[in-house]
Amino acid sequence: MQINGRTILHGIMGNPVSHSLSPAMHNSAFAALDLNAAYVPFPVSDVAAAMTGFRALGIRGVSVTIPHKQAVIALLDDIDPVAAKIGAVNTLDIQHGRIIGHNTDWLGANRALAEKTELTGKKMLIMGAGGSARAIGFGLLEAGAHIMLASRTAAKGIELAETLGCPWHALEEIADLAADCLVNATSVGMAPHTESSLVPQACLARYTVVMDIVYAPQETKLLREAREAGCQVVNGLAMLLYQGVAQFELWTGKTAPVDIMRDSLLAALATK
């Protein structure tokens, strides 16, 4: 790809952001569709200044990652209704100087799960009470699923469960719970703590599908034990891929080259 005066710029803002796999994913998609566009990391500490800069420089679209998903909201011109419910924005759609906030994390999670199971009417157990659990919870509610929450921290868990309108359970109760799908929306199992899991293996046969948002390693201890228990498994790379697919299609209006984006993520992950 040759960058020139007509190149349409996109990026990802966060702090830190150099580790992100998103540039590899989006740039491969731009190249595959022969689009004169580029996607770069934006390390940002001053969110307000960055938002002013995006407007002034004509940046087309920006992914938003930790720790700025909430801070950008006050600086938007408009916000998608589901992103407003979630209270977090991971995507900026910028046109004619106006910035509209979206959340594609829930779209990514729903699409990844929907490859394995129908969502409407299914019972879903989400582990965690942070931003990822919140986005996945609201997304599953949008899809017509029935959800319940389990977390290590009672105060956060109860607060989120009340917001979602669902039951909350202490994580210590996990051996007594069952659902169609289990979603780990915590960082437990992430490298270098790859031999950690929140769920005893003996409990996993109660679930048809087990999803882990962790993507490094691609197969966490939870997913390995779930597969051995006969469950269908979904790794975190699928959610990362499909939230990026939703971003790409929002920004370009074109159908994303999913297989190419997946391959680029796998290749980028292999170099980490």
pLDDT tens, residue by residue, 240-261 = 999 999 999 999 999 999 999 9
Decide if pLDDT at 50 tops 80: yes
Q: Residue 96 belongs to a domain with what CATH number?
A: 3.40.50.10860
Under 8 Å between Cβ of 77 and 99: yes
**Same domain for 204 and 114:** yes
Decide if pLDDT at 44 tops 80: yes
Catalytic, out of 69, 85, 122, 221: 69
**Same domain for 226 and 114:** yes
E-strand spans in the chain?
8-14, 37-43, 61-64, 78-79, 91-95, 98-102, 123-127, 146-151, 168-170, 181-184, 209-212, 232-234
69 assigned to active site:
yes
Q: Residue 133 belongs to a domain with what CATH number?
A: 3.40.50.720
Q: What is the pLDDT of residues 77-121, one digit of tens each?
A: 999 999 999 999 999 999 999 999 999 999 999 999 999 999 999
* Tokens 């929140």, located at residue: 198
Residue 37: strand pairing partners: 8
Structural domain count of the chain: 2
**Same domain for 24 and 124:** no
Decide if pLDDT at 29 tops 70: yes
Domain that holds residue 115: 107-234
Query: pTM for the whole thing?
Result: 0.95
In a domain, 3, yes or no: no
Decide if pLDDT at 1 tops 80: no
**Same domain for 137 and 92:** no
**Same domain for 137 and 65:** no
Q: For 137-165, what is the mean pLDDT?
A: 97
Q: What is the pLDDT of residues 184-239, one digit of tens each?
A: 999 999 988 899 999 999 999 999 999 999 999 999 999 999 999 999 999 999 99
